[in-house]
A and B are shown apart, each in its own frame.
Chain A
Amino acid sequence: MYDKQVRRRRAILALLVGLSLILLTAYFGESIGGPLRTIQRGMLEVLSPIQEGASRALKPFHDLVNWVGDTFDAKDRASRLEKERDQLRKQVIGAQQARTDNVQLKRMVDLNASRDLALSTYRPVTGRVIARSPSLWFTTITVDVGSSDGVRRNQPVLDGAGLVGKVTDTTADASIVTLITDHSSGVSSTVQQNNDSGILETAAGNPNDLLLQFLPPKSTVKRGETVVTSGTKSSRLDSLFPPGIPVGTVTKVDPEELNLYQRVHVKPFADLRRLNFVQVLTRPNARVVAKAPANQTAQAGAGPTSTTP
């Protein structure tokens, strides 16, 4: 009797472990349109309205808990923000002067393409964050806008502060957004002050520490400088993100690390742990843009690891 129980228990364990391993292997080797992923998307489709309802119902609860945490940080943040404000005030004065100069210079060289023009081809769609992964490794969020709102895979996602990530999967009413802190993410970025470009990647385990890698040798990046998307364009692979989207600020420049690995540490502007609403930059006239000559489609495109959707 006891032996029978033991055998049964072990058989169930072996069955469950075997099933998990089969699922893992099948999923890992499967293409994007494979049956397991289709089932997953179907499940998301069913769950997204429930998740949205639950998210709304539980919002006061997590707002309350976060509010308690925020109160403790408030004093530190206030003094830090005051310093930042003073610094920015100086920068604004400089920027206003630079802008005036820029307009005059542009007129002189007859440049039509500008960042604003690049962004004007996008239509932002605002979505509410309805779920997020608890894992350190899958840094994804689920938002309540999907393909019926014009959201497609690989479209950039922002919040009020800066770049958040990109859409990696969609259903009719929901989308999965992979954050810039995910291990699979790589954003071509530029340090605004000196135009040094690199690829922004994550250091696993810390959402506040991104690494701007592959900077040019003898780069002169300094702490506090701003990192924006570079929106690079090449004949083979374009960047997903339009140029000029603020990403973060350089927090640490170790000269040895900079010389040896050509990288600096960056803190994202967006608070990726506390996202309530985000904007997906959809492209309603993407086909028109795709058919246009190459010089007109400048600045809009796909990520460093994929082609234009």
Chain B
Amino acid sequence: MNPAPTINVSLILRLAIFGVVAVLVQITAISQISLLGVSADITPLIVASVGLLAGSVPGAIMGFALGLFVDMALLQTLGVSSLLLTGVGYGAGRFREVRDPSNTLTPVAIGAAATVISQVGFSLIQFLLGVDAPVSFLLLREILFTVAVNTVIALPVYALVRRIVAPALPEDPRRRRARRAAVAGGLSPLSQPNAPRRRRRGLRAT
């Protein structure tokens, strides 16, 4: 189990500025770029990345704030994006806290899952709110293509978020151990791949 890092002022400031810039870039540029007939939506990716890096509480708060800002900026129904992105951020954070993932491709899987939750959730909420529109197979196709495009860009978005957020986070124990090992030449002689066989054998005998 990986405990959640504490929230500090630097982290809040970084996330607030990054969130505002990201939403502006999303609505002024990325939404106007068509890939496979759809536009990428980086907001669930950013929230999921924050959850993965900073934990469930910062993830949920980031999701709520980012969703509220998107709904405000685009005059959409307030609360819809906040509700979904809060869930996305919290879910990603809990995944980090419970599973402590170390695979490089984890952000890709989490990004895809976050996009599915936000797209399908959005559609469901719209239906619950009484949207009167015939739904076709094309809607499903559009959701799938958005998920595909978001999956492709998930890793760079995660890298960008990590670059911005990491300096404000307390050092990850796993990274600290790895760095110490690199500086000191390994945790133990056994962990060194080039250690002489004789020495290892000798160690085992003692």
Q: Footprint of B on A, CB under 8 Å?
A: 5, 8-9, 12-13, 16-17, 19-28, 36-37, 39-41, 43-44, 47, 50-51, 54-55, 58-59, 61-62, 65-66, 69, 129-138, 140, 142, 168-169, 176, 183-184, 201-206, 209, 211, 273-274
A16 to B67, CA, bound (A): 11
| B139 and A136 within 8 A (CB) | yes
Q: Which residues of A contact B158 (CB under 8 A)?
A: none
| B74 and A65 within 8 A (CB) | no
Contact A134/B26 with A20-B64, A24-B80 known, Cβ cut-off 8 Å: yes
| B78 and A23 within 8 A (CB) | yes
Given A17-B87, A40-B72, A51-B28, 12 additional A-B pairs, CB 8 A: A9-B57, A12-B57, A23-B79, A24-B79, A27-B78, A54-B29, A66-B33, A131-B73, A136-B142, A183-B133, A203-B138, A205-B141
Q: Which residues of B contact A59 (CB under 8 A)?
A: 29
Q: Of B33, B60, B68, B75, which is within 8 A of A12 by CB?
A: B60
Q: Which residues of B contact A43 (CB under 8 A)?
A: 72-73
Closest residue of A by beta carbon distance from B68: A23
For B31-44 the 0/1 string (1 means CB < 8 A from A) is 11111010111010
| A204 and B77 within 8 A (CB) | no
Q: Which residues of B contact A137 (CB under 8 A)?
A: 122-123, 126, 131
Give 30 pairs: A residue, B residue, CB < 8 Å, sorted on A. Answer: A13-B90, A17-B86, A17-B87, A20-B67, A23-B68, A23-B82, A24-B83, A39-B72, A40-B72, A41-B75, A44-B75, A47-B24, A51-B28, A54-B28, A59-B29, A66-B34, A133-B76, A135-B41, A135-B76, A136-B139, A138-B74, A168-B75, A203-B133, A203-B135, A204-B134, A204-B135, A205-B140, A211-B134, A273-B32, A273-B39
Q: Kindly provide the distance from the CB of B120 to the nearest chain A CB, expressed in whole angstroms.
A: 11
| A132 and B64 within 8 A (CB) | no
A20 to B68, CA, bound (A): 9
Which of B123, B134, B140 lies at the interface centre, i.e. has the most chain A CB atoms within 10 A of its CB? B134
**B30 touches A (CB below 8 Å):** yes
**B92 touches A (CB below 8 Å):** no
Chain B, range 115-154, C-beta contacts under 8 Å to A? 119, 122-123, 126, 129, 131-136, 138-143, 146
Q: Kindly provide the distance from the CB of B78 to the nearest chain A CB, expressed in whole angstroms.
A: 4
Q: Which residues of A contact B33 (CB under 8 A)?
A: 62, 65-66
| B27 and A131 within 8 A (CB) | yes
| B75 and A129 within 8 A (CB) | no
Q: Kindly provide the distance from the CB of B141 to the nearest chain A CB, expressed in whole angstroms.
A: 7
Q: Kindly provide the distance from the CB of A47 to the nearest chain B CB, expressed in whole angstroms.
A: 5
**B61 touches A (CB below 8 Å):** yes
| B131 and A20 within 8 A (CB) | no
| B79 and A27 within 8 A (CB) | yes
Q: Of B41, B56, B138, which is within 8 A of A205 by CB?
A: B138
| A274 and B126 within 8 A (CB) | no
Q: Kindly provide the distance from the CB of B204 to the nearest chain A CB, expressed in whole angstroms.
A: 39
| A132 and B79 within 8 A (CB) | no
